[in-house]
Structure 1
Amino acid sequence: MRENKIAIITGASRLNGIGASICHLLADNGFDIFFTYWSIYDQEMPWGIKENEPLKLKNDLLKKGVRVSSLELDLTKEDSPTELFEKVIEHLGYPLVLINNAAYSTNNDYSNLTFQELDKHYAVNIRATTMLSTLFAQKFKFKSGGRIINLTSGQFKGAMPGELAYATTKGAIDALTITLSAEVAKLGITVNAVNPGPTNTGWMTDVIKTELLPLFPFGRIGEPSDVARLIKFLVSEDAGWITGQIIHSEGGFIR
């Protein structure tokens, strides 16, 4: 088993979020963790965030006996990818895994979408994801075992009315995943995307849960741990022959 495994997970601010669940499961499997968060965004969203959540996540991870570092980072800034990798290398070393989990999402449609709102979605959802991924590949110091995993939302499985900017920018991740995987395979890096479907991370109201539940054949809504378990497999040596795939792990969700 490889030692000094370092994983970067972006967008791991909330304790009940997908990012935090990924951090916990990878730490349980011996990865040192570097996560980013951006509290200002979460504070503006309906689900909100408690002031100490990122610190509590860090402390909980440290109890697992791995090295942990974190950074509050605004991924809309053009220099954010460079800043992130400088901090990761400084505090932990060269990363083996990159999980592009951070996302920007607000409700909009054809009638009210603005340049400014579209640009915010683009900056986080595809520009930051792309530049983080390319920097990861450029700085990759190993001969094998590299993993880039992008979180997507199944944009090509059906329409997402009311989320025009989100669907447009997240949909580009599929194209990025397929092409980048072909470019970096020679470096020993796989690139895959995971679509977890609707996941209970705090944004669902009781009304939304009631509407969604009949669409899940297993009779329950997806949880962050479902996503984390798939990612645990994809970063493992057993998944070394899987690349360029968009994996729809959403419990048979019926659109």
Structure 2
Amino acid sequence: MSVREKVALVTGAGSGIGEAVADALAAHGAAVAVCDVDAEAAAKVAASLAERHGVRTTGVGADISDSAAVRTAVEQVTAALGPVDVLVNNAAVDVIGRFVDSDEETWDRIIAVNLRGTITVTRAVLDPMIERGGGRIVHIASDAGRVGSSGEVVYSATKGGVIAFGKALAREVARHGITVNCVCPGPTDTALLGQVADYSQRMYDATVRAIPLRRVARPDEIAGVVAFLASDDAAYMTGQTLSVSGGLTMV
């Protein structure tokens, strides 16, 4: 898979799936910008990638719900590494619980990060991609956005929105050589899945039992699919939504 010397920006890359995606892209030779709301975590991951893979990296801190912070982060990435060729929109938040027990403040935060944040970061890198006549955009959505997930109603809504946004954008930018695809992880061994276990161990156990492969995913198993979509090997794929869920959803 060829991403060598491309500049990749991965949001929410200070840990979990985002960190694994950044690692996979760096392992294949990309220069990687690690973006996270935790600037210290972003810097640590970036330094580790540079040491282990010998690629150019930079770490930037940004809350993607803040459009000014996003613009500043993209400017920093461009100054350090060059224009963004590959964008992976991974950053997301969730609060596990019944919808009837949730409040507007929680809804607003989830929507601001997961949906509006994805739109904001995408818009910030799009003009240079159009000018250069190419680019790869990969959204990390969720199967919750395809089939719904109890205890994650607003989260499911935002991820459904991300999927629809990706499809519509793919149609608009295809003529510029830019592809847009979504990856929908199933249950994955991250802090977010830990929230499910904390909320209800019974729910967690039932979810794992329902997975045909009988286990949750490792972050690197999601990252490999993302790296493929970011590569030249996926040049003729756009507007697609791929589930990586161990067979939990087959849609």
TM-score range, shorter chain: 0.7 to 0.9
Verify: 1:187 aligned to 2:176, yes or no.
yes
Residue of structure 2 in register with 1:106 after alignment: 95
1:137–1:184 Cα contact (<8 Å) kept: no
- Deviation, structure 1 residue 240: 0.6
Listed as ranges, the matches of 1:182-221 within 5 Å are 182-202=171-191, 203-204=193-194, 205=197, 207=201, 210-221=205-216
1:244 alignment partner in structure 2: 239
Matches within 5 A, 1:118-157: 118-140=107-129, 141-144=131-134, 146-157=135-146
- C-alpha distance in 2 between matches for 1:209 and 1:163: 13
Q: CA deviation at 1:156?
A: 4.5
1:19 aligned residue = 18
Identity of aligned residues (%): 31
1:254 CA displacement: 5.2
The residue number in structure 2 matching 1:233 is: 228
| Contact persistence 2:62–2:70 (CA under 8 A) | no
Secondary structure of the residue aligned to 1:104 is coil
Q: Confirm or deny that 1:97 pairs with 2:86.
A: yes
Cross-structure match for 2:167 = 178
Mapped to 1, the partners of 2:226 and 2:145 lie a distance apart of 21
Letter in 1 for 2:218: E
CA shift in 2, pair 1:218/1:180, >3 Å: same
Q: Which runs of 5+ in 2 are unaligned?
A: none
TM-score normalised over the length of structure 2: 0.88
- Residues 101, 150 of structure 1: 8 Å contact kept: yes
Structure 1, unpaired ranges of 5+: 41-51
Between Structure 1 and Structure 2, the one with more helix by share is 2
- Aligned AA for 2:244? S
Structure 1 position 155, deviation (Å): 2.9
- Residue equivalent to 1:6: 7
CA pair 77-28 structure 1, distance change in 2 beyond 3 A: same
CA contact (8 A) 2:145 2:161 kept: no
Q: What is the CA–CA distance in structure 1 between the aligned matches of 2:242 and 2:70, rounded to whole Å?
A: 25
Matched, 1:167 2:156: yes
Distance 2:132 2:149 in 1: 39
2:30 match: 31
Distance 1:191 1:118 in 2: 26
Name the residue aligned to 2:49.
Answer: 61
Q: What's the CA shift string for 1:90-147, capped at 9, x where partnerless?
A: 1111011000000011124332332222111111111111121122221214323x10
State whether residues 14 and 36 of structure 2, in contact with CA within 8 Å, keep that contact through their aligned partners in structure 1.
Answer: yes
Q: What secondary structure is seen at the aligned counterpart in 2 of 1:111?
A: helix
Whichever residue aligns with residue 106 of structure 1, its letter is: V
Q: Distance in 1 between matches of 2:144 and 2:3?
A: 35
Structure 2 counterpart SS, 1:79: helix
CA separation in 2, counterparts of 1:78 and 1:2?
Answer: 28
Task: Tell me how large the CA RMSD over aligned residues is.
Answer: 2.1
Equivalent residues of 2:137, 2:179 under 8 A apart = yes
Structure 2 distance, partners of 1:188, 1:199, is: 32
Contact 2:115 2:162 in 1 (8 A): yes
Q: TM-score normalized by structure 1? A: 0.87
